[in-house]
Amino acid sequence: MTEKTGKEELRELARGLRRRVEFGDVEWSAGSARASERAAAPGEALAAAPGGVGAALEGLASQVEACRKCPLGSRRLRAVFGVGSSAAEVVFVGEGPGFEEDHRGEPFVGRSGQLLDRILESIGLSRKTVYIANIVKCHPMVDASDPEKRGNDRPPAPEEIAACRGYLDRQLSLIAPRVIVTLGAVAARVLLGPGEPITRIRGRWRQYAPEGLGRALKLLPTFHPAALLRNPALKKDVWTDMKALREELAQSAPE
């Protein structure tokens, strides 16, 4: 396999940010190509990852698969654990799976996911070089009896978040990325605690110490891609945040 690792990609950025930023004009759209054509199959990138982190993540994914700590576990079609490189320098954290993710078992594969792919591409990243996960791993549905119904999504409830929280902390501790990027208000609130609204905290560097890691990681809150689909005026703020992320990665890239 000759696929670039996250570190190689960061070295490339550090060598003068030569990669052309195709979407610097902030014309991101959800794109026409299906995310599945670009995405690593679940587990594929992890299996290829060096060392024990990939194996530990796979073990954790099996626990999530069997998890019934909250009612979501017995209602969803597929658990949505995470996708990407176990050596990722950046972990993106969303809220929870929706219809497409529930059917495919992979995070961010619907319209929001296609937009997220474009956002990643614009700063020289991809879903194979970063890691993408959610606060909750199972689809929170308004009507749990009908997983085939579209638009049947709701935010996760506090007890569902509490039941799932340990899995995300473990993912973050194992990967130990340079930066966590939270996507949207729910992910920011869960990791940073309740406080100011997302409109006020986005783009401001924070820290989060995942349970078990013993140190804090840098965290950058930004808007959720779904918010950009609803309100394209927010794209310029996310573009500002992605440039800040790119700068941070270039500065802290290992030689």
Interface residue with ligand URA among 42, 82, 96, 156 (CB under 6 A) is: 96
Q: What residues form DSSP beta bridges with 244?
A: none
Interface residue with ligand URA among 85, 114, 126, 134 (CB under 6 A) is: 134
> Of 164, 173, 249, 187, which is closest to residue 217 (Cα–Cα)?
173
Q: What residues form DSSP beta bridges with 94?
A: 134
Segment interacting with ligand URA, rule: CB under 6 A, options 42-50, 88-96, 117-125, 164-172? 88-96
Build a one-symbol-per-residue string for 104-123: x at contacts with ligand URA by CB under 6 A, - elsewhere.
---xx---xx----------
C-beta atoms surrounding 71 within 10 Å: 15
Please state the closest distance from residue 148 (CB atom) to ligand URA, in A.
17
5 lies in the binding site for ligand URA (CB under 6 A): no
Which element (helix H / strand E) includes 96? none
Q: Concatenate the DSSP letters of all residues of 146-163 into one string.
A: -TT-TT-B-PPPHHHHHH
73 lies in the binding site for ligand URA (CB under 6 A): no
235: left (phi over 0), alpha (psi -120 to 50) or beta: alpha
Using the minimum distance from each CB to ligand URA, give the nearer residue, 13 or 46: 46
82 lies in the binding site for ligand URA (CB under 6 A): no
Interface ranges with ligand URA (CB under 6 A): 94-98, 101, 107-108, 112-113, 134
